[in-house]
Structure 1
C-alpha cells in the first residue's frame, strides 16, 4: 500500500513539474513524417494529407486526398525550396511536371517574434497519460497576416497552425500521427520520370497557397 501511495505521489509531482515548465521558443525536429488535415474558412475546402518534412534540405512531399464540391481528388507534390521548384507527380501514369516555386521555406516550430498565448493540457491533467502539455503562440507574419501556432511543450512537435489570408480567410492545419524521421528518404527526391534539376521549370510560379488553390481545379 505504501509503495502505491509513493508511486502516486511521484507521478503527481512529475505532472505538476511539467505543468510549471516555462514555455520557450523552439524549432520542430528537422525530419518529420505524418499527416495533417487542412481546411479553409472562405473556400470551404477540406483535405487530409500525408507529409514528409526535411528542414535541413528544405524539402516537403505532400500526398493529398480530400473532397471539394462533393468530389474527391488526389494530389502529389514535391516542394524543393532550395532549388526553387515544385514537382507535380502522377506515379500511376509516370507523369511529372516542374514549376517554379517562389516561396520562402517556413520551418515548423515557434517563430522568434511570436508571443505566448498560453500553456494548456489537451485532454485531462488528472493522471499520467491522460493529457498532452502544449504551448500556443500568436504573432504576425512579415506580410501582416496573423497566425497562431500550437506545439507540444516537450519535443516542439507541431499540433496545429492557424493562418489568416485574404484569399481564404483563416486556414487551419492540424497535425496527426507525427513521427521523427523519414521512412523513405528517396521520396524527397524527384522520381526518375520527372524532368531533371537542370531542366527549366515551366508555367506560372507557385507558392504554398497557390498549391492549395489548385485543389479546386483538380476537383472540378
Structure 2
C-alpha cells in the first residue's frame, strides 16, 4: 500500500512539473520589435496591453516597403474601432475594427517543444527559464504556424514566431515588460479624437504583431 501511495505521489509530482498552456498577465506595458522574413516591415514599438478592457495601444517607428513611418494606434475591441492618432497636428483617424480580441496566451492545443534558459544556467539569477510552444492558429486571414516563447514563471511573452502566406515568417520580440499599466490614460482617445468620424478603409498600413489577428 505504501508503495502505491509513493508511486501516486511521484506521478502527481511529475505531472505538476510539466509546463502547461498559460495566459499572460492581463495588464502589461513594454516594448517590442517586429520584423518580417521578406524585410517588408521592421519596427520598434511601445505597447500597452489591457486584456480586461480589451484595449491595446501601440506607438511604432519603423520601415515599411522601404519607407519610414511613425504610427500611433489605439485599438478598442469592445467598441469595434481603431484610432490612428497624430499628435503633431492634433488629428485623429477613426476606422472600424472588425476583428475579435485575442489575449496573449498559449492555446490549450499547443504542443510543448521544450524548456530552455536564456542567458546562463551556471549560477542563480544568471538566466531566464522559458517554455517553448508550437502549433497552428486560426487567424482572420487563414491558418498560421507559430512558435511562442514565454517565461516559466508568470507566462510573460518573450518572443513569437508566426508564419502566414501573406508575410512569410514574422518575428516579434518582447522586452522591458512591466506587469501593469504605467499610464492608463494612454488607453483612452485624446480629447481631439472625440469628434472623429468613422472613415472607409483605404490604402495599406504597416502590419503589426497585433494586427495579424
TM category, shorter: 0.7 to 0.9
1:66 to 57, 62, 66: 62
Asked if the contact 2:54/2:78 (under 8 Å) is kept, the reply is: yes
1:165 paired residue number = 164
Instruction: Tell me the SS of whatever aligns to 2:88.
Output: coil
Matches within 5 A, 1:130-145: 130-142=126-138, 143-145=142-144
Counterparts of 2:206 and 2:68, CA distance in 1: 15
Counterparts of 1:41 and 1:102, CA distance in 2: 26
1:204 paired residue number = 201
Counterparts of 2:54 and 2:99, CA distance in 1: 11
Asked if the contact 2:64/2:206 (under 8 Å) is kept, the reply is: no
- Cα shift at 1:84: 1.0
1:105 to 94, 101, 117: 101
Instruction: Tell me the SS of whatever aligns to 1:212.
Output: coil
Asked if the contact 2:47/2:56 (under 8 Å) is kept, the reply is: yes
Counterparts of 1:118 and 1:157, CA distance in 2: 16
- Cα shift at 1:136: 0.7
Counterparts of 1:90 and 1:107, CA distance in 2: 27
- Cα shift at 1:86: 0.5
- Cα shift at 1:149: 0.8
Which ranges in structure 2 are unaligned for 5 or more consecutive residues? 1-15, 209-213
Asked if the contact 1:97/1:195 (under 8 Å) is kept, the reply is: no
From the two aligned structures, give the one with the greater strand fraction.
Answer: 2
Aligned residue-pair number: 190
Asked if the contact 1:99/1:205 (under 8 Å) is kept, the reply is: no
Please list the CA deviations of residues 84-106 of structure 1 after superposition, one character each: whole Å capped at 9, or x if unmatched.
Answer: 11000011211001000111211
Counterparts of 1:193 and 1:130, CA distance in 2: 47
Matches within 5 A, 1:1-220: 21-68=17-64, 71-142=67-138, 143-195=142-194, 201-204=198-201, 211-213=205-207
Asked if the contact 2:40/2:66 (under 8 Å) is kept, the reply is: no
Instruction: Tell me the SS of whatever aligns to 1:25.
Output: coil
Summarize the Cα distance change of 1:67–1:205 in structure 2 as closer, same or farther, 3 Å threshold: closer
Asked if the contact 1:102/1:205 (under 8 Å) is kept, the reply is: no
Instruction: Tell me the SS of whatever aligns to 1:193.
Output: helix
